[in-house]
């Protein structure tokens, strides 16, 4: 059987965030500051959790995994974007685009499942406080963390294989500042309908399952709070769950708007803005949200500083 080259495109070109060269330096400085602040915030949170024995609990173990993901997510995309803004080097090889796509989808998928695990952890802490230490053991935490990373990697492997085994024969301009599913699919010169359907079904099933587990967990938490009706219970519950719930709403909203929809609704200018929210601002805001609402984390951060 004759072997067919699946791709005649050897590299892609990022369109970027703006076609106006006069504001490239301003954008470079702005995004560099955001990136460095994101790195500093998440690294400080990781150091605070690892060096403070009071924070060696399941909730903070999962939070440290979230901070690690928030370090990886912008690191996969932002340095290349900064290089394009400063050096006008907007090209990326086909293999480089594939790897960037794979690691980005892996990190995003892992974060979705990790937030679900964190919702289950909060449910156990609020609804079963006496049994919580025995059920949510160190072994279970490790298994849940490994499971989220494994599912995220497998999900990304499936999506990447579906996208990058298509035929690409030009044009090669990606309407985005990184290699993402919608803009790369838009460049394929072969039919993408069946693969889009598979991507939508897989993303829909996994995403909706994670969302259902999260929503059900918080419904049980709410019912438990209402049944107790003790003084200070609302404040304690909000202190325990408020940060996570804020992060869930922010992350789920932006990722669903980006991925769980057909390609004919793809709008490059709008999607670039949405991708900035979950790709840069969410990793920046997560450590701030958790530190502002948590006295133990604030004390640990003061020691680190």
Tokens representing 164? 């990058």
Tell me if 41 is assigned to some domain.
yes
Tell me if 2 is assigned to some domain.
no
Tell me if 117 is assigned to some domain.
yes
Burial 200-235 (b: 16+ CB within 10 A, else e): eeebeebbeebbebbeebbebbeebbeeeeeeeeee
pLDDT at 297: 79
Per-residue DSSP letter, 231: T
Tell me if 144 is assigned to some domain.
yes
Tell me if 3 is assigned to some domain.
no
- d(CA 225, CA 237) in angstroms, rounded, equals 8
The CATH number covering residue 236 comes to: 1.20.1070.10
Residue 210's closest CA among 96, 95, 109, 86? Answer: 109
Highest mean pLDDT among 179-188, 231-240, 268-277, 284-293: 179-188
Tell me if 1 is assigned to some domain.
no
Please say if the pLDDT value at position 292 is more than 50: yes
For residue 219, cis peptide bond before it (omega within 30 degrees of 0): no
The dihedrals phi and psi of 25, each to the nearest 5 degrees, come to -65, -40
DSSP-H helix ranges across the chain: 24-51, 58-87, 94-127, 132-135, 138-164, 181-185, 193-228, 233-259, 268-276, 282-292, 295-304
Range of the domain at 208: 11-304
Instruction: Tell me the pLDDT tens digit for each residue of 267-287.
Output: 666 667 667 776 788 888 888
Among all chains, which residue has been given the structure tokens 């769950």?
Answer: 241
Among all chains, which residue has been given the structure tokens 């173990």?
Answer: 61
pLDDT at 233: 63
Tell me if 245 is assigned to some domain.
yes
Instruction: Tell me the pLDDT tens digit for each residue of 108-152.
Output: 889 989 989 998 998 898 888 888 888 999 999 999 999 999 999
The total domain count for the chain is 1
Tell me if 40 is assigned to some domain.
yes
């Amino acid at each position: 059987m004759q072997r067919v080259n699946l791709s005649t495109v050897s590299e892609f070109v990022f369109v970027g965030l703006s076609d106006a060269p006069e504001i490239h330096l301003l954008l470079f400085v702005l995004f560099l500051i955001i990136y460095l602040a994101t790195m500093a915030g998440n690294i400080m949170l990781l150091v605070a959790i690892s060096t403070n024995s009071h924070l060696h609990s399941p909730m903070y173990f999962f939070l440290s995994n979230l901070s690690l993901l928030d370090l990886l997510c912008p690191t996969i995309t932002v340095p290349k974007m900064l290089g394009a803004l400063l050096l006008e080097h907007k090209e990326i090889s086909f293999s480089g685009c594939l790897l960037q796509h794979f690691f980005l989808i892996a990190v995003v998928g892992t974060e979705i499942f990790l937030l679900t695990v964190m919702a289950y952890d909060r449910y156990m802490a609020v609804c079963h406080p006496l049994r919580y230490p025995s059920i949510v053991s160190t072994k279970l935490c490790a298994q849940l963390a490994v499971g989220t990373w494994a599912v995220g990697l497998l999900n990304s492997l499936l999506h990447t294989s579906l996208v990058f085994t298509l035929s690409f024969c030009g044009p090669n301009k990606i309407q985005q500042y990184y290699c993402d599913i919608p803009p790369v699919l838009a460049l394929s010169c072969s039919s993408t309908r069946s693969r889009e359907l598979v991507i939508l079904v897989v993303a829909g099933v996994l995403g909706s399952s994670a969302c259902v587990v999260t929503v059900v967990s918080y419904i049980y938490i709410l019912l438990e709070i209402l049944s107790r009706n003790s003084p200070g219970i609302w404040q304690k519950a909000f202190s325990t769950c408020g940060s996570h719930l804020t992060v869930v709403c922010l992350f789920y909203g932006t990722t669903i708007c980006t991925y769980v929809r057909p390609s004919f609704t793809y709008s490059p200018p709008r999607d670039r803005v949405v991708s900035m929210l979950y790709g840069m601002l969410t990793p920046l805001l997560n450590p701030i949200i958790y530190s502002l609402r948590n006295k133990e984390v604030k004390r640990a951060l003061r020691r680190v500083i």
